[in-house]
Amino acid sequence: MKAWEKHIDAFYLMISGEQKLVYQPIINMLVELGYTPMRKQTKGYILSFSNLSHNRVIARFGVREGSGNAFFGLRFSSCTNYSDKFGQVVRDRILSSNNRLAKCGDCAFCKGDKFVYRYTFPNGEMKAACGAFVLDIPDVTTDDIDEIKRLIDEQHTYFMKYAV
C-alpha cells in the first residue's frame, strides 16, 4: 500500500459513513486524474491533492482539530459556470478580510490565460479575487458531487494546458 493510500484510509476512518459517500467519488476522480494527497503538517488531519505534472493543489480536505466533521476545499478559479452555492463562496472570499484582490501578472503565478475568481454583485459591479487559492465549500452533500466533479475536470484541463 502506498503512503498516500494510507492517508486516504486514515481520513475515511475519521468521518461518518454518510460523509464517506460524499468524499469517496471525489477522491476516486482526483486519483484517476493523477492527483495524490499529501498530508499537511498542521493541527488536525488535512490532505492536499496536487498533480506532479504541474504541482498545483486542486483540492484540500480533512478534519480540523476539535471538529468531528470533514471539510472540503476546491480550486475552481478557471471555471466560469457554477451554481449559486459556489458563487456565494466566491462572493464571501471577495468580501472577507483575508481576500487578495486579483492583480494578475504581479505575482507571476498564472500561466497562460489569467484565472481569477469572479463575482458580479446585484448592483452590476464585478470584482475578482486571486485564483491561486483553494476555497472552502461549506456543507458539501451528495447533491454537490456532479458539479464538483465537473469543476475539477475543468480546472484540471486548464492546469494541463497552461501550467505544465
Q: For residues 85-106, give the mean pLDDT.
A: 80
> For residue 163, what pLDDT is reported?
82
pLDDT tens for each residue of 64-77: 988 878 999 999 99
**Residues β-bridged to residue 105:** none
Given a cut of 60, whether residue 105 has pLDDT beyond it is no
> For residue 111, what pLDDT is reported?
58
Coil vs helix vs strand at 140: coil
> For residue 126, what pLDDT is reported?
87
Q: Of the candidates 53, 57, 59, which has an alpha carbon nearest to the alpha carbon of residue 11? A: 59
Determine the Cα–Cα distance for residues 143 and 5; give it in Å rounded to an integer: 26
- pTM, entire model: 0.91
Given a cut of 60, whether residue 89 has pLDDT beyond it is yes
pLDDT tens for each residue of 34-62: 999 999 878 889 999 999 999 999 999 99
Locate all alpha helices (DSSP H) within 40-125, ordered by sequence: 84-95
